[in-house]
Structure 1
Amino acid sequence: MTATSTPEATEPEANPAAPRRRSFGLAAATALVMGNIIGGGIFALPAAVAPYGTVSLLAFVILSIAAVLLALLFGRLARRSPVTGGLYVYPRDAFGEFAGFLSAWSYWTMCWVSIAALATAVVGYVDVLIPLHDSHALQAAVALAALWLPAVANFAGTRWVGTVQVVSTVLKFVPLLLVATIGLFFVDADNFGPFNASGDSTAGAVAAAAALLLYSFLGVESAAVSAGEVENPERNVGRASVLGTLASALVYILGTVAVFGLVPHDRLVDSGAPFADAVNAITGGTWGGTAIALVAVASITGCLNGWILLAAQMPYAAARDGLFPAPFAKVGKGGVPGFGVWAVAVLGTVLIALNYTAGPDTTFRVLVLITTFTGCVPYLLSAAAQLYWLARGTRERVRPAGLVRDLIVAALSFAFSFWLIAGAGYAAVYQGVLFLFAGIPVYVWLRGRRESAEAPDETPVDTSVKPSV
């Protein structure tokens, strides 16, 4: 069922992608999910969570289960509204335009900030291949190249994006899986270190580790956001979301276990390239850093390729309803919202420039801290939308046989999103709320302009009572 079942959505807006050929089959959609989940974070995650001990593996398992629940949730919601925009469309259909706008604004913010962060992360791996000699100018040039090359690829069309996504996913998935499997045969149990090295309770350590690990699972919604480009989205969005999430979780968990068992805990805590250290432990050589750097560059480039597409498609869907500036709704010959790609590339360029020209406490670093919050807001609203439809119990929307299953998935997804928002920390939530509310004037202006244009031109009528003569 499409979004036409609600008063707010008209047919042209609910299914804007219908006249265009859908570009993503199941394989490409799955690669999009995997490519956006597995970015550059996997190469640094083992060292980031090592201070908490092996309890972080438990946090990984919990997050993996929660991510699969979100994938199932988006699959169910995509059956109801198989259109581009996903996490914007679901709250809009359930709660109205304002909720849809907040979801789109929050998600869009998370996208372009994350894109700038990923482009900057390329620099460290390129430095392994080609020494940059601590030159901020060279580092900025590398980051900008990492941002703009995938942006240019997006202008070639969604079919090209899907092809790049499949190739880059294979390039990074296979080597990481080899480390995660072959490395298990070289594991030394003495390297794992203490179960809980944080000094906090087990529950507190799990929550703290999960807050760090959350960023690594952003992207589970990729197929739902791009549903208008997916063939047979009613079935393939759910399948691609679950398959991509499961495969990513497998690489994450096995890879982290292998690194924990290959690199001594005291070294891992201070490691700048934990996977490179793990490969060196397997081979006994020093070429691991170069090999992992090549994989990391391919991984992040493919991740940027997919995230740029998502960052353009979310405002595209909102702009079709008049809730984002009109240029975001324009689609090029390749089926990609060109203005949205330009916008995210320019905003990312500004953040990269700030990162390499300001001090350590830059606006860029502050914005990166709130991506967890801005990413979870659309998750929370989408889960709430599903709970709303289930509570209504409309026959054409909810099948009695699947009611209990859908209710459990939606309720747990809502609880998971709420837990992650709370775990992001007071500073991130505070700053994230401010950033979210900064979009309200945009909504007010666009909504007012649209309603003013739609209002009939009426001549004022003089209703005053004139004295009789």
Structure 2
Amino acid sequence: MPAADTTDAAEPVPPSPADETPASIRPKGFGLAAATALVMGNIIGGGIFALPATVAPYGTISLLAFLVLSMGAVLLALLFGKLARRSPVTGGLYVYPRDAFGEFAGFLSAWSYWTMTWVSIAALAVATVGYADVLLPLGDNKVLQAAVAMAALWLPAAANFAGTRWVGGVQIVSTILKFVPLLLVSTVGLFFIDTDNFGPFNASGESVPGALAASAALLLYSFLGVESAAMSAGEVRDPERTVGRASVLGTLGSALVYLLGMVAVFGLVPHGELAESGAPFADAVDAMAGGHWGGTLIAAVAVASMVGCLNGWILMSAQMPYAAARDGLFPAPFARVGKGGVPGFGVLACAVLGTLLIALNYTAGPDTTFRVLVLITTFTGCVPYLLSAAAQLYWLAQGSRERVRPAGLARDLIVAVLSFAFSFWLIAGAGYAAVYQGVLFLFAGIPVYVWLRGRPAG
């Protein structure tokens, strides 16, 4: 590798049990195309289809927040690409803090990320209902709405039980299915924009910095998945090169679709209507094409997109605890792998926990879960980002003692510092309630760590 690659400056860490996975058990089914599709498929889903209405109450400042968020997401993609060159194994955001700071840091990262995945999956399944209602009106029937949300969760869970090759294939198909129509609608929709629909720049009543941070914290949900290739590095061919490329390409492609889509939706749907919309993209297409046929078509694409996104996220939900369980830092059943190369217990646990949250949503009230869960995922998702950035800073400090090119060290240092600051800023923007609830989720894992570490060996 070139001398500028400072992540290789320190002595490599001996492989842990999580790194020593036989190829016959963990088939590597993801090339660059599938890995990029996995990243894009996990990013583009509920975010692009549901969040325009969620951030509309902040005004068009949320478009500025999106631009800031896009730059931060690219920084994270670069960070994970560099870290994956050093540790090209499954469970990346757990492995990086573990190698740098020890088992407890690795466990906290794994627990926080795992919490984020199944909470995020529940929120995305709930968001699917709004577009399913356009195709098959569900009315106010909570039983039917819950059934649709659970079907959106369990169908991709079944695909995961079939193996990673099926997951990769589904990701490519679903990514193409949603990317092409979304890009077409977003670009054509720009010609139908009415500037009066955008509404005020800052409609929240908060300060500009406060509104910017708060809307960015919500919008982060739309970029969760930037780490997907790093998390599944053990299933990626030539991960030292492929993970970084797939992460950046997938993030840039998603950001382009998001930018066009957000601008089109804000310009096509009047601000007041957008803030109350359950299917903002369908409403935008109806405004552009007239009638309801266009909205029905985009609703079908949205449902397919969200189910495809859930397909990839369910895989992610099993990868982190799998890696930690191989090291004895998660309950042993999470390390069990089926014939298809997927940790089946991890998939099952995620689906069951997501089902419980879906049931809570439709028994506790109509609008009590989605926004709350989105903000909790911001906190629980950013904790592994922070720890991974800190791990990179640690390795750079170790590598700075070696003979490395100053330009390469400075470049990697800037990426790591900005990634850390970006993650910290998003946590602050999530608000007191989300941070409080997220900390409770995080601390709930400490007794699990104590039990795992304290039990007698063997």
Length-normalised TM-score, structure 2: 0.93
How far residue 71 of structure 1 moved from its aligned partner, in angstroms, is 0.2
Q: Is the 8 A contact 1:35 1:168 kept in 2?
A: yes
Q: Is the 8 A contact 2:157 2:311 kept in 1?
A: yes
Q: Are residues 1:274 and 2:304 paired?
A: no
Give 5+ residue unaligned stretches, structure 2. 1-6
The one-letter amino acid paired with 1:154 is N
1:268–1:354 distance in 2 versus 1, CA, 3 Å: closer
Q: Is the 8 A contact 1:390 1:398 kept in 2?
A: no
* Residue of structure 2 in register with 1:179 after alignment: 185
Alignment partner of 1:36: what SS? Answer: helix
* Residue of structure 1 in register with 2:250 after alignment: 244
Alignment partner of 1:88: what SS? Answer: helix
* Residue of structure 1 in register with 2:50 after alignment: 44
- The partner residue of 2:333 within 327, 330, 338 is 327
Q: Is the 8 A contact 2:47 2:223 kept in 1?
A: no
Q: Are residues 1:304 and 2:310 paired?
A: yes
Between the aligned partners of 1:267 and 1:397, the Cα distance in structure 2 is 59
- The partner residue of 1:188 within 194, 208, 211 is 194
Between the aligned partners of 1:290 and 1:421, the Cα distance in structure 2 is 36
1:433–1:21 distance in 2 versus 1, CA, 3 Å: same
How far residue 213 of structure 1 moved from its aligned partner, in angstroms, is 1.0
Give % identity.
Answer: 82
* Residue of structure 1 in register with 2:85 after alignment: 79
The one-letter amino acid paired with 2:43 is I
Greater than 4 Å deviation, 4+ residue runs = 4-7, 359-368, 394-401
5 Å matches for 1:157-306?
157-306=163-312
* Residue of structure 2 in register with 1:460 after alignment: none
1:347–1:298 distance in 2 versus 1, CA, 3 Å: same
With 47-56 and 23-32 compared, the bigger mean Cα shift is at 47-56
1:110–1:420 distance in 2 versus 1, CA, 3 Å: same
Q: Is the 8 A contact 2:171 2:311 kept in 1?
A: yes
Deviations, residues 351-406 of structure 1 (Å, cap 9, x unaligned)? 22222233468688755541111011000000000000111126789664411110
* Residue of structure 1 in register with 2:3 after alignment: none
* Residue of structure 1 in register with 2:377 after alignment: 371
Q: Are residues 1:151 and 2:163 paired?
A: no
- The partner residue of 2:21 within 16, 33, 40 is 16
With 199-208 and 222-231 compared, the bigger mean Cα shift is at 199-208
Q: Are residues 1:423 and 2:434 paired?
A: no
How far residue 334 of structure 1 moved from its aligned partner, in angstroms, is 0.7
Q: Are residues 1:384 and 2:390 paired?
A: yes
The one-letter amino acid paired with 1:393 is G
Q: Is the 8 A contact 1:36 1:303 kept in 2?
A: yes
Cα RMSD of the aligned pairs, angstroms, is 2.2
With 72-81 and 192-201 compared, the bigger mean Cα shift is at 192-201
Q: Is the 8 A contact 2:150 2:355 kept in 1?
A: yes
* Residue of structure 2 in register with 1:313 after alignment: 319
Deviations, residues 132-182 of structure 1 (Å, cap 9, x unaligned)? 242222222212211111111001110110000111111111111111111
* Residue of structure 2 in register with 1:135 after alignment: 141
Q: Is the 8 A contact 1:279 1:288 kept in 2?
A: yes
Alignment partner of 2:219: what SS? Answer: helix
5 Å matches for 1:80-119?
80-119=86-125
* Residue of structure 2 in register with 1:457 after alignment: none
Between the aligned partners of 1:397 and 1:295, the Cα distance in structure 2 is 52
Between the aligned partners of 1:411 and 1:395, the Cα distance in structure 2 is 19
Q: Quick one: higher RCO (CA 8 Å, sep 6+), 1 or 2?
A: 2
* Residue of structure 2 in register with 1:402 after alignment: 408
1:17–1:379 distance in 2 versus 1, CA, 3 Å: farther
Q: Is the 8 A contact 1:88 1:100 kept in 2?
A: yes
1:286–1:303 distance in 2 versus 1, CA, 3 Å: same
Q: Is the 8 A contact 1:211 1:420 kept in 2?
A: yes
Deviations, residues 237-270 of structure 1 (Å, cap 9, x unaligned)? 0111111111111111111111222223333333
Between the aligned partners of 1:59 and 1:366, the Cα distance in structure 2 is 19
* Residue of structure 2 in register with 1:343 after alignment: 349
Q: Is the 8 A contact 1:191 1:264 kept in 2?
A: yes
1:180–1:32 distance in 2 versus 1, CA, 3 Å: same
With 396-405 and 298-307 compared, the bigger mean Cα shift is at 396-405
With 28-37 and 140-149 compared, the bigger mean Cα shift is at 140-149
The one-letter amino acid paired with 2:286 is N
1:204–1:17 distance in 2 versus 1, CA, 3 Å: farther
With 164-173 and 73-82 compared, the bigger mean Cα shift is at 164-173
How far residue 122 of structure 1 moved from its aligned partner, in angstroms, is 1.8
* Residue of structure 2 in register with 1:458 after alignment: none
With 280-289 and 99-108 compared, the bigger mean Cα shift is at 280-289
Between the aligned partners of 1:204 and 1:295, the Cα distance in structure 2 is 34
Q: Is the 8 A contact 1:352 1:364 kept in 2?
A: no
Q: Is the 8 A contact 1:354 1:362 kept in 2?
A: no
1:368–1:184 distance in 2 versus 1, CA, 3 Å: closer
Q: Is the 8 A contact 2:50 2:127 kept in 1?
A: no
Q: Is the 8 A contact 2:131 2:278 kept in 1?
A: no
The one-letter amino acid paired with 1:453 is A
How far residue 17 of structure 1 moved from its aligned partner, in angstroms, is 5.3
Between the aligned partners of 2:417 and 2:203, the Cα distance in structure 1 is 32
Length-normalised TM-score, structure 1: 0.91
- The partner residue of 1:453 within 438, 453, 457 is 457
The one-letter amino acid paired with 2:85 is R
Larger radius of gyration: 1
Between the aligned partners of 2:410 and 2:323, the Cα distance in structure 1 is 31
